[in-house]
Amino acid sequence: MAQLSRAARLYLLHMVLLTLGLSVNGLFFNLALVALGYDQRTLAIPLLGELSLLGLLNSLPVLAGALSSPLLWWLVSRVGLKVSLLISSALMVLPQLSLALWPQPVPLLLGSALGGPASALALVCTSPLLMQISGTQGRDLLFSLRFGLSLVVAGLGTLLSGFLPGLAARWLGLAPESAVTYQVAFGCSALVVLLALLPLLPLRLPDAAAESDHPGTADAGRVASAALRALARHPWGSLRLLIPPLLISCGASLLIPYLSVYFRLRYGASDAALGLIFAVIGVATGAAALLAPQFSARLGRPQSIVLSQGLAIPCLLLLGLAPTLWLATLLALVRGALMNMVNPLYEAQVMEHTVAEVRPIISGLLGAAYSTGYIVGPTLSAQIQRTSGFAPIFATTAACYALAVIANYLIFLRSPQPTPAS
């Protein structure tokens, strides 16, 4: 830790508080909406008809984040990294507050819509800010601490969050698992997210960044033009690499946001049990990701990707059939670890199969591919749940995952392309 600057330590404190506060959202957002009756309520959308409010509240942040991306890049260039991160963190309070204090359709929709750009803005400015507040000797340590701490704190936060509604019910004399208990939990979440702003206030960035690290507009324009020309010369060779993550996104968006709802409806899992289950799943997934390089060294990177994701599919199908909570938990843990542990390997594989000039564009498109399904998937899933339950969702998710595995096999193993020069 001695290698880290004061600014780096302040940022890590901010990240810990923010991750801790937002863990409530990941665990209880949809359960709170179900308790409020939003799984049975619809909203009339022109040209689209009646859509489930539960689904819209899940899809809207991703759509708003995608649409606001150009404006966010402009904002960062105008106000700087620190102010942008402050704005992002302040906006992240609003979705929590809207559910805690004003759980009506319009405030909830507005809060959710602002949550998307808030997350996108944090994504845009975090890595550049870390580069500025770290020296060459402490840079690897800072990035590694950010990754490791985020996993540990997310697991701890999920575990602690599981007890909040029960404590609220006991202390305030409320019915267990009622909407009000979840509102209290989101009020606590908003307070912690608000506290995460405090470490950013005294954070000081270096007076001037190195010129080479921050090219001017003209240089950036020339780099972008060269990248687009390189992509235009061989578009299929690069863009086909986006097919597997797009298929995974389409499948995951149908099920993963509602996994806590599934555990509640199918097995009657309590809030505390859900906190423990998802904390263990998160920690196991993080630990598995650390083991992925060893599998890659033994089997080869593309073989590891295809095998790991392929093995996750039967676990997913069995999860939909599991008769008991403990078996479902075990299957969810194994599925999550197998499906996600190879994500860093896939990113490295994509970068190796992309010419150097195109890598920044493909990197951005890769993130977009993993998010695209979440624009429509949660809304579609909520509609299906209302009429047919979870069985079609498990089947469709498994089909999307299977197509992604087949695509990876065809791209990297059946017809491998020569690796371009760096």
DSSP 192-221: HHHHTTGGGTT----SS--GGGS--HHHHH
pLDDT at 211 over 50: no
Range of lowest pLDDT (245-249, 343-347, 406-410): 343-347
Query: Rounded to whole angstroms, how far apart are CA atoms 180 and 36?
Result: 9
Which residue from 26, 14, 62, 57 is spatially nearest to 39, judged by alpha carbons? 57
H runs (alpha helix) in 36-104: 53-79, 81-101
Q: Which residue has the higher pLDDT, 222 or 322?
A: 322
Q: Rounded mean pLDDT of 379-392?
A: 93
Identify the three-state secondary structure at position 45: strand
% of the chain surpassing 90 pLDDT: 53
Range of lowest pLDDT (229-238, 304-313, 317-326): 229-238
- Span 354-369, pLDDT tens digits: 776 666 667 667 878 8
pLDDT at 292 over 50: yes
Which residues is 45 bridged to in the sheet?
49
Range of lowest pLDDT (16-30, 73-87, 282-296): 282-296
Q: Which domains does the chain have, with CATH numbers?
A: 7-199 (1.20.1250.20), 234-422 (1.20.1250.20)
For residue 379, what pLDDT band results from cuts at 50, 70 and 90? very high
Record the pTM.
0.81
Q: Which residue has the higher pLDDT, 149 or 179?
A: 179
Query: Rounded to whole angstroms, how far apart are CA atoms 279 and 283?
Result: 6
Q: Rounded mean pLDDT of 125-135?
A: 79
pLDDT score of 212: 39
Q: Which residue has the higher pLDDT, 237 or 408?
A: 408
For residue 297, what pLDDT band results from cuts at 50, 70 and 90? confident
